[in-house]
């Protein structure tokens, strides 16, 4: 036939399980998640939200520097990591506080990094989280390399990598998808489409109907889910992880969500978007929807929420106290800037380190 | 000892290291079935299979970025960028991630990868196939930058680079690839990264160079001996970063006269760093201004004028004679 429509192996499927008010739309789609896990998911989402709010206060008081708030994207992150095993890997960008908390990162570590201390990047033993990647869209390639290693060693792990809608315009994202498709790596590409790349709306990022369909060009399945519905995100991630583990290769999951606040604390979103739009998305907030579901299941009461909120508040305060104490202790450890540049410090770095040591000593002498 | 070209020597190093360590993998454009456009990776696919020798999609950032992930996972990727002129598509991956992963993760994750890529002019090539941009990588804290000059040191240094715990950018002087043969011992050899070599001993003047420019530099040294009765010492830098200044400083203190030769553009090139270190550490030993014989600060011409751009033995010789003259 001279003209015919080519049948592609994949199509984009959209999934949502809870409606905007948190009601289960189709019981058949309800994922089977143990109760303790559901409650842990809820607590981590709440912890991430309250921590975000508290960090914003600290930033406004000048006690920490710039950071990228997660507000509104808690479900898109927790739904993914809750479907992973501890032995799986996470390759984040720079807004994955919720996911990182689930995977064992401490509140103190965030406060240290955003307080300007790289010591916060010291990772817990046995962690399989890569550190934050700031250059947009560059880290999915690392996830593909890691998952090539998994295949090469014949291991039973998967790698989930996070990025945003803006990252899908970056060349490195496309190279990562392409390599993953060719190599059939166990990679889950998680696009948190929060509608805004700083001031640039989703519509100006690409003319594609969905971001999920980018996967089709690489022979990879693409799924779109309601990213504010933690159950939908979880289900998609579970399916992608099972595909990856059984050797069926990568999946792209587009979580349709919304950045309810600024890009980073250095940004003023009132310059470029309407309050009405924000209000519309506030109605689809991930946390109240999930709470409604948990209440319906009899797993959560008003009293529980109150108790949780108090526990979280105390936990955050304790972390702030510890972090501020630690920052004081670390205040004069400038010489550590020479650490971890190479496995062995080259002689010229030893020399420069000596130079700085002398500078610091002279300064201390003149202050005395 | 077998006599080898640099291509043979590099190929031998890859075979040896892949035999020795199953975590070594090779990836890049045309490296498997075709054996690399310069045949450096020839025979690896047959010997080690397609899981370890991969023809990748045509994407430099992809090659380097996935190599970073593989290295974090515990593999030892040796990736090839077909020509260094195309490596800038991977600049971000090297600068932002390969060079910093150890630092960023406070030592938890390291990137023991090697990026092999041909550089240098003199092979009558198209645009983007003749540049020498080692300064980009040498200027990036966290990277190592190695440039061999001859078959024997090429093999030894590539083995060392593969075993190195940090990311190494390994520039191969393509003008030397098949230019001459050299005896390379059967047994395994390594050469420490971060160590320069005295390639020729002498007391009267120090000539410092590396890579493809070692040939005209050594030729000039021979002429100085034959025609002027001058004993030139020649230092082969071998590792641009971390730079070993002790070896050339020692020589400069002995001779008091220094000429630096490289084909990279002069401004902010490795020669500038070498001069700075000599001035900082050995100024009072110098008997004449240090001279640089380098590429000019222009786009390297297409091959019709390439000869005029590249430092030649004659240019080195003239600079050395000027240096020997002063002060009169």
Q: Which CATH number covers residue B253?
A: 3.40.50.920
Instruction: List, in sequence order, every residue forming a beta bridge with B198; answer none if it has no partner.
Output: B235
Q: Say whether A144 and B71 touch across the interface (CB within 8 A).
A: no
**Global ipTM:** 0.96
Picking from A123, A142, A341, the nearest residue to B65 by CB comes out as A142
A-chain residues near B56 (CB < 8 A)? 179, 182
Report yes or no on B312 lying in a domain. yes
Q: What is the pLDDT of residues B306-325, one digit of tens each?
A: 999 999 999 999 999 999 99
Give whole-number Cα distances, B219 to B79, B123, B143, B231, B274, in Å.
Answer: 33, 19, 32, 13, 22
Question: Are residue B8 and residue B70 in the same domain, yes or no?
Answer: yes
B17 burial via Cβ count (<10 Å: 0-12, 13-18, 19+) = buried
Question: Are residue B147 and residue B228 in the same domain, yes or no?
Answer: no
Q: What is the pLDDT of residues B251-297, one digit of tens each?
A: 999 999 999 999 999 999 999 999 999 999 999 999 999 999 999 99
pLDDT > 70 fraction of chain B, expressed in percent and rounded: 100
Report yes or no on B192 lying in a domain. no
Q: Which two tokens stand for residue A347?
A: 């002689």
Kindly report the average pLDDT of chain A as a whole number. Answer: 96
Picking from B25, B64, B73, the nearest residue to A146 by CB comes out as B73
Q: What is the pLDDT of residues A202-228, one digit of tens each?
A: 999 999 999 999 999 999 999 999 999
Question: Are residue B39 and residue B102 in the same domain, yes or no?
Answer: yes
Task: Inform me whether the pLDDT recorded for A47 exceeds 70.
Answer: yes
Task: Inform me whether the pLDDT recorded for B99 exceeds 60.
Answer: yes
Question: Are residue B90 and residue B123 in the same domain, yes or no?
Answer: yes
Q: pLDDT category, B37, cuts 50, 70, 90?
A: very high
Query: In terms of residue numbers, what domain contains B122?
Result: 3-183
pLDDT, position A366: 81
Tell me the average pLDDT across B27-39: 98
Secondary structure, 3-state, chain A: CCCCCCCCCCCCEEECCECCCCCECCHHHCCCCCHHHHHHHHHHHHHHHHHHHHHHHHHHCCCCCCCCCCCCCHHHHHHHHCCCCCCCEEECCCCCHHHHHHCCCCHHHHHHHHCCCHHHHCCCCCCCECCCCCCCCCCHHHHHHHHHHHHHHCCCCCEEEEEECHHHHCHHHHHHHHHHHHHCCCEEEEEEECCEECCEEHHHHCCCCCCHHHHHHHCCCEEEEECCCHHHHHHHHHHHHHHHHCCCCCEEEEEECCCCCCCCCCCCHHHCCCHHHHHHHHCCCHHHHHHHHHHHCCCCCHHHHHHHHHHHHHHHHHHHHHHHHHHHHHCCCHHHHHCCCCCCCCHHHHHHHHHHHHHHHHHHHHHC
Q: pLDDT category, A187, cuts 50, 70, 90?
A: very high
Catalytic (active site) residue A259: yes
A-chain residues near B108 (CB < 8 A)? 122-123, 127
Report yes or no on B249 lying in a domain. yes
A-chain residues near B164 (CB < 8 A)? 343
Q: pLDDT category, B328, cuts 50, 70, 90?
A: low
Question: Are residue B160 and residue B209 in the same domain, yes or no?
Answer: no
Gap from B288 CA to chain A (nearest CA, Å): 25
A251 reaches B (C-beta below 8 A): no
> What is the CATH code of the structural domain delimited by A13-331?
3.40.50.970
Q: Say whether A145 and B72 touch across the interface (CB within 8 A).
A: yes
Q: pLDDT category, A29, cuts 50, 70, 90?
A: very high
Question: Are residue B250 and residue B310 in the same domain, yes or no?
Answer: yes
B-chain residues near A175 (CB < 8 A)? 57, 59, 61-62, 65
pLDDT, position B327: 72
Please report how many Cα atoms fall inside a 13 Å half-sphere around the Cα of residue B143, on the Cβ side.
Answer: 26
Question: Are residue B9 and residue B136 in the same domain, yes or no?
Answer: yes
Q: Say whether A148 and B70 touch across the interface (CB within 8 A).
A: yes
B62 reaches A (C-beta below 8 A): yes
In chain B, residues 175-214 whose CB comes closer than 8 Å to chain A: 194
Report yes or no on B191 lying in a domain. no
Q: Of B15, B97, B128, B129, which is the active-site residue?
A: B129
pTM: 0.97
A89 burial via Cβ count (<10 Å: 0-12, 13-18, 19+) = buried
Catalytic (active site) residue B129: yes
Question: Are residue B57 and residue B156 in the same domain, yes or no?
Answer: yes
The answer to whether the bond into B327 is cis (omega within 30° of 0) is yes
Question: Are residue B87 and residue B161 in the same domain, yes or no?
Answer: yes
A-chain residues near B62 (CB < 8 A)? 141, 172, 175-176, 178-179
Picking from B65, B71, B96, the nearest residue to A176 by CB comes out as B65
Domain boundary among B183, B218, B244: B183
pLDDT, position A368: 61
In chain A, residues 132-151 whose CB comes closer than 8 Å to chain B: 132-135, 138-139, 141-150
Closest CA to A118 of A79, A65, A167, A166: A65
Task: Inform me whether the pLDDT recorded for B11 exceeds 90.
Answer: yes
Taking CA atoms, what residue in B is nearest to A119? B106
Question: Are residue B22 and residue B166 in the same domain, yes or no?
Answer: yes
A338 reaches B (C-beta below 8 A): no
Report yes or no on B305 lying in a domain. yes
Report yes or no on B229 lying in a domain. yes
Q: pLDDT category, A365, cuts 50, 70, 90?
A: confident
Q: What is the pLDDT of residues A99-116, one digit of tens each?
A: 999 999 999 999 999 999
Domain count, chain B: 2
CATH of the domain at B127: 3.40.50.970
Please enumerate in sequence order all residues whose Cβ is within 8 A of that of B235, keeping only pairs 6 or more positions apart, or say none. B196, B197, B198, B199, B206, B207, B208, B209, B247, B248, B251
pLDDT, position A224: 98
pLDDT, position A50: 98
Q: Say whether A148 and B72 touch across the interface (CB within 8 A).
A: no
Q: What is the pLDDT of residues A316-336, one digit of tens each?
A: 999 999 999 999 999 999 999
Report yes or no on B188 lying in a domain. no
Q: Which two tokens stand for residue B40?
A: 């450096």
């Amino acid at each position: 036939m001279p003209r015919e429509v080519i049948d592609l192996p994949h199509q984009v499927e959209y999934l949502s399980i809870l409606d905007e008010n948190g009601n289960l739309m189709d019981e058949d789609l309800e994922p089977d998640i143990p109760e303790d896990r559901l409650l842990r998911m809820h607590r981590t989402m709440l912890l991430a939200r309250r921590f975000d709010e508290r960090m914003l206060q600290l930033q406004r008081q000048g006690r920490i520097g710039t950071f990228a708030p997660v507000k509104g994207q808690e479900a898109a992150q927790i739904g993914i990591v809750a479907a992973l095993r501890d032995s799986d890997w996470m390759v984040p960008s720079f807004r994955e506080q919720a996911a990182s908390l689930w995977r064992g990162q401490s509140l103190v570590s965030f406060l240290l990094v955003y307080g300007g201390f790289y010591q916060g990047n010291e990772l817990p033993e046995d962690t399989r989280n890569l550190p934050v990647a700031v250059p947009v869209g560059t880290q999915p390639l690392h996830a593909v390399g890691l998952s090539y290693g998994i295949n090469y060693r014949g291991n039973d792990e998967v790698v989930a990598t996070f990025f945003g809608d803006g990252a899908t315009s970056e060349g490195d994202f496309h190279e990562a998808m392409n390599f993953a498709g060719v190599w059939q790596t166990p990679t889950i590409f998680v696009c948190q489409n929060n509608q805004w790349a700083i001031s640039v709306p989703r519509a100006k990022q690409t003319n594609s109907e969905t971001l999920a369909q980018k996967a089709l060009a690489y022979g990879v399945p693409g799924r779109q889910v309601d990213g504010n519905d933690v159950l939908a995100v979880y289900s998609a991630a579970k399916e992608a992880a099972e595909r990856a583990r059984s050797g069926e290769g990568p999946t792209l999951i587009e979580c349709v969500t919304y950045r309810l606040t600024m890009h980073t604390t250095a940004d003023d979103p009132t310059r470029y978007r309407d309050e009405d739009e924000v209000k519309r998305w506030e109605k689809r907030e991930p946390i109240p929807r999930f709470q409604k579901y948990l209440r319906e299941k009899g797993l959560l009461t008003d009293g529980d929420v109150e108790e949780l909120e108090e526990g979280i508040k105390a936990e955050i305060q304790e972390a702030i106290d510890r972090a501020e104490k630690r920052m004081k202790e670390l205040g004069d450890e400038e010489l550590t800037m020479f650490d971890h540049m190479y496995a062995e410090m080259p002689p010229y770095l030893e020399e420069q380190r000596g130079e700085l040591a002398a500078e610091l000593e002279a300064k201390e002498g003149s202050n005395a | 000892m077998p006599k080898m070209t640099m291509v043979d020597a590099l190929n031998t190093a890859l075979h040896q290291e892949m035999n020795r360590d199953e975590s070594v993998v090779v990836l890049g454009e045309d490296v498997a079935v075709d054996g690399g456009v310069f045949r450096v990776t020839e025979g690896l696919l047959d010997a080690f299979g397609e899981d370890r020798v991969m023809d990748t999609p045509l994407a430099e950032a992809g090659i380097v970025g996935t190599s970073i992930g593989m290295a974090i996972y515990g593999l030892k990727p040796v990736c090839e960028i077909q020509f260094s002129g195309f490596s800038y598509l991977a600049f971000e991956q090297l600068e932002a991630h390969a060079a910093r992963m150890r630092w960023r993760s406070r030592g938890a994750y390291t990137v023991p990868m090697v990026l092999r890529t041909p550089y240098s002019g003199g092979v009558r090539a198209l645009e983007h196939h003749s540049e020498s941009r080692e300064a980009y990588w040498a200027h990036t804290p966290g990277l190592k930058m190695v440039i061999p000059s001859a078959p024997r040191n090429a093999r030894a240094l590539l083995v060392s680079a593969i075993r190195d715990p940090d990311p190494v950018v390994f520039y191969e002087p393509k003008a030397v690839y098949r230019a001459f043969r050299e005896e390379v011992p059967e047994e395994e050899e390594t050469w420490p990264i971060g160590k320069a070599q005295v390639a020729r001993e002498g007391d009267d003047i120090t000539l410092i160079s590396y890579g493809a420019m070692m040939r005209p530099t050594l030729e000039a040294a021979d002429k100085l001996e034959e025609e002027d009765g001058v004993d030139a010492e020649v230092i082969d830098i071998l590792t641009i970063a971390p730079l070993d200044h002790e070896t050339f400083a020692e020589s400069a203190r002995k001779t008091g006269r220094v000429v630096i030769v490289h084909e990279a553009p002069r401004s902010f090139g490795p020669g500038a760093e070498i001069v700075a270190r000599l001035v900082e550490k050995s100024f009072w030993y110098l008997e004449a201004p240090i001279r640089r014989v380098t590429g000019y600060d222009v786009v390297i011409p297409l091959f019709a004028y390439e000869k005029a751009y590249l430092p030649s033995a004659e240019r080195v010789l003239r600079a050395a004679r000027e240096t020997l003259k002063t002060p009169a």
